[in-house]
Amino acid sequence: MNPAVIPPRYDPARDCDSWTVDSSHRITYQIEICPNVLDLENDRLATWCSSGNNRVDQVLVVVDREVDRLYGSLIRNYFTRWDFAPTVLVMSGDEASKGLSAAEEVAEKMGEVGLLRRSEKVVVFGGGVVMDIVGMAANLFRRGVPYIRVPTTLLGQVDAGVGVKTGVNHGDHKNRLGTYYAPLCALIDPTFLSTVSERHIINGLAEIVKIALVKDRDLFELIEAEHKLLSSEGFASNTPTHAEIIRRAVVGMLEELEPNLHEAQLERIVDFGHTFSPSLELIADPPLLHGEAVAIDMALCVAISTNRDLIDRATALRIVRLLLLMGLPVSNSMFTPDLLRNALVDTIAHRDGQQRLPLITAIGDASFVNDVSPTELHNAVALVEELEIELSTVSGFLLPDAGLVRA
Ligand SMILES: NC(=O)c1ccc[n+]([C@@H]2O[C@H](COP(=O)([O-])OP(=O)(O)OC[C@H]3O[C@@H](n4cnc5c(N)ncnc54)[C@H](O)[C@@H]3O)[C@@H](O)[C@H]2O)c1
Ligand SMILES: [Zn+2]
């Protein structure tokens, strides 16, 4: 609103019992690719942590337990080298421990350390689980203190680490309690990926394929051409191909998130693969990783697109084939008609009364529909099954040395 037209808040000449408050809050944060972030000569993280105060800066470093085992001494040495007084809190990165009490534990530590409210920082090293917990704690503590993310998984580096969502699980629901709270920065260091298990690399690749499918055909084709090289060592060595995949995925995410950081617009193409998967992810047995559940959801939605003639069968086969070649699942016996119906009901509430279901209309393009029926869901499950059988039997679709791997 133009400030010139705002009437005076108190006008003795007239009674007024109603006031409009109209304010906006600028959000700026930095995403940086920062190889070797813990190298003792690399000052990027130290610069971000520096308070500019005339005292030894405190920093609360929250570290995923596995990351602490692998990198804990490097982390401690780094902060000591740059003259910080670090307090390290080690936390479980297990999805099962991603509850409100974990965020409370971080808040408790913040209180103990006595960080200066605006100038001293919390730094989190880990995957999406600890980043989501710490982001939420940082948002709740004194209604917001600064924090820095150092994502150490592929999924963390291309997805959880680059947006502003924080959260913890609640009841049977993923991230049911959460906030939007930007970090000061996210420093993406691909060298951490050398120790990430292949299953978790593939998990991150699922989100990269998602971005490729909804908006970046070249990225899809790059992954298709290079999928055999997409290992933890490959990403950690940061070859031009791996660097391009990470950059394209980050840029794709940011292009979608930046104009819609607080999800005012509920039609989000980045929700592709995230309609039915949240209901499956926490109950699947054997358990599924986030990206694996997303892959199953993406395959289902590809089948819906095919049955609606939005894409042809050859395109559907091409996509499902790539998911399988990468080692992602495309179906799950728990994806029953009941689960799919209930998942859709929950998603409709989440998307404020409408399905707003992103479907691809080509590799690299998507649009939204609001009228998917239970019969369509049933037919889509059947089509995924058919495509899987076709891929496993028709010669030429699977490369000779590629196995069909299921989670
Ligand atoms: N906030 C968001 O926008 C957003 C987006 C996507 C996903 N998420 C959340 O992220 C979580 C999944 O994240 P994730 O896939 O990173 O899982 P994660 O945080 O559970 O990490 C996966 C595993 O890798 C280990 N690990 C982490 N870094 C490692 C390293 N460098 N070397 C060896 N092991 C390492 C962890 O200990 C853990 O066992 C989910 O809870 C999901 O809801 C959030
Ligand atoms: Zn996701």
Distance 187 CA to ligand 1 centre (A): 15
**Residue keyed to tokens 């996509």:** 319
* Closest ligand, as measured to the CA of 68: 1
Query: Which of 263, 244, 112 lies closest to 190, judged by CA?
Result: 244
Of the residues 98, 109, 121, 165, only one is catalytic, namely 165
Whether the CB-CB separation of 166 and 180 falls below 8 Å is answered with yes
Residues linked to residue 188 through DSSP beta bridges, in sequence order:
33
In the annotation, is 165 catalytic? yes
Alpha-carbon distance 389 to 374, whole Å? 23
Provide residues with CB under 6 Å of ligand 1: 64, 66-67, 70, 93, 95, 98, 126-130, 132, 152-153, 155-156, 159-160, 163, 165, 174-175, 192, 195-196, 200, 203, 290
Give the pLDDT of the chain (407 residues) as one tens digit per residue.
Answer: 555 666 667 777 777 788 888 899 999 999 999 999 999 999 999 999 998 887 778 999 999 999 999 999 999 999 999 999 999 999 999 999 999 999 999 999 999 999 988 899 999 999 999 999 999 999 999 999 999 999 999 999 999 999 999 999 998 788 999 999 999 999 999 999 999 999 999 999 999 999 999 999 999 999 999 998 899 999 999 999 999 999 999 999 999 999 999 999 999 999 999 999 998 987 899 999 999 999 999 999 999 999 999 999 999 999 999 999 999 999 999 989 899 999 999 999 999 999 999 999 999 999 999 999 999 999 999 999 999 999 988 655 554 344 444 33
Answer positive or negative: Cα dihedral of 276, 282, 286, 289: positive
141's tokens: 């503590």
Could you report the per-residue pLDDT of 291-337, keeping only the tens digit for each?
Answer: 999 999 999 999 999 999 999 999 999 999 999 999 999 999 998 98
Helix, strand, coil fractions of the chain, as percent rounded to 5: 50, 15, 35
For 313, the 3-state DSSP assignment is helix
Kindly tell me the burial class for residue 270, based on how many C-beta atoms sit within 10 Å of its own C-beta (0-12, 13-18, 19 or more). buried
Closest by CA position to 102, among listed 175, 195, 161: 175
Please tell me the distance between residue 257's alpha carbon and the centre of ligand 2 in angstroms: 13
Of ligand 1's listed atoms, the one at least distance from the Cα of 71 is: 31
| Degrees to nearest 5, angle at CA 178 with 279 and 339 | 10
Ligand nearest to the CA of 273: 2
Q: Which residue from 200, 232, 257, 271 has its CB within 8 A of the most atoms of ligand 1, so it is best to mutate?
A: 200
Which tens digits make up the pLDDT trace of 233-265?
A: 999 999 999 999 999 999 999 999 999 999 999
| Closest atom of ligand 1 to CA, residue 167 | 1
